[in-house]
Structure formats: structure tokens, C-alpha cells
């Protein structure tokens, strides 16, 4: 039987984390940071948060340092906003899927322009 609570909580955390990142005043956290995916463990004790910055992998890794230092604030705010008795431990992971998709998009556009020239 699928566990709907875990999936719903993952999406709720993703939505609230996106809003909370905009409120952080840490200069290490990129303004162009996005939450790619949140995965909550089945016992609701851990949450892997995959983040990606539009500026590239170096900005993503720097942002992760800022997010880890603000994890206490983020846990408290998540707990208050989502009315959780016990908020999962947050683990931030660098994800380069946005930069990778932008690179593929550039390649496809280059191919499209190359085909139209012939």
C-alpha cells in the first residue's frame, strides 16, 4: 500500500522551502536557487533536499553551506508552517539538473539553427 503521507509531506516541504529560501539573509545562498526535489524517508525522520542554482555548480555548493548553517531556522519554520510535531532532519544535496537541461537546450537550439541553414 502506498504511503500518501510521505509523498504529500515531500511536496509540502518543497513548497515551503522554496518560500523560506527567499527569506534567508545569508549572502552565500544564491537568489536564483531552486528546490529540484524533496525526498522524505518512510519514518519521516530525514529529508533529502536537492537544490540547484542557475549560476552553476560552484554557486550551488556555496548555497548549500549557507543552507546547512540555517538548517535550524529552516526546521523551526517548517515545523511551524506545516504544523509538524517532529520536523525531519534536512540534508541538502547539490543537483546540477537545471544547468544540464540548459546545456541540452542550447545544443538542441544549435542543431535547429544548423538544420535551417541547409
What does the buried/exposed string (b/e) look like for 10-26 if buried means 16 or more CB atoms within 10 Å of the residue's CB?
A: bebbbebbeebbeebee
Residue 28's domain spans which residues? 4-117
Which CATH number belongs to the domain containing residue 17 in this structure?
Answer: 3.30.300.20
Q: What pTM does this model have?
A: 0.80
Q: Are 88 and 46 in contact (CB under 8 A)?
A: yes
Count of structural domains, the chain = 1
Helix or strand holding residue 17 (H, E): helix 4-23
Q: How far apart are CA 31 and CA 63, in angstroms?
A: 9
38-81 per-position pLDDT tens digit:
999 999 999 999 999 888 888 899 999 999 999 999 999 999 99
For 44, the 3-state DSSP assignment is: coil
Q: What is the mean pLDDT of the chain?
A: 89
Give strand pairing partners of 35.
51
Give every CB contact of residue 86 below 8 A, 6+ residues apart in sequence.
44, 45, 79
What is the rounded CA–CA span in Å between residue 13 and residue 116?
45
Q: What is the pLDDT of residue 1?
A: 39
| pLDDT single digits (tens) 48-59 | 999 998 888 888
CA distance 38 to 26: 22
Amino acid at each position: 500500500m502506498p504511503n500518501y503521507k510521505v509523498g504529500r509531506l515531500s511536496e509540502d516541504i518543497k513548497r515551503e522551502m522554496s518560500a523560506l529560501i527567499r527569506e534567508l539573509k545569508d549572502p552565500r545562498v544564491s537568489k536564483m536557487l531552486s528546490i529540484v526535489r524533496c525526498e522524505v524517508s518512510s519514518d519521516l525522520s530525514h529529508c533529502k533536499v536537492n537544490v540547484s542554482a542557475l549560476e552553476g555548480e560552484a554557486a550551488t555548493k556555496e548555497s548549500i553551506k549557507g543552507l546547512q548553517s540555517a538548517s535550524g531556522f529552516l526546521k523551526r519554520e517548517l515545523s511551524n508552517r506545516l504544523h509538524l510535531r517532529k520536523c525531519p532532519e534536512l540534508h541538502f544535496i547539490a543537483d546540477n539538473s537545471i544547468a544540464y537541461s540548459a546545456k541540452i537546450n542550447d545544443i538542441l537550439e544549435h542543431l535547429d539553427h544548423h538544420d535551417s541553414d541547409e
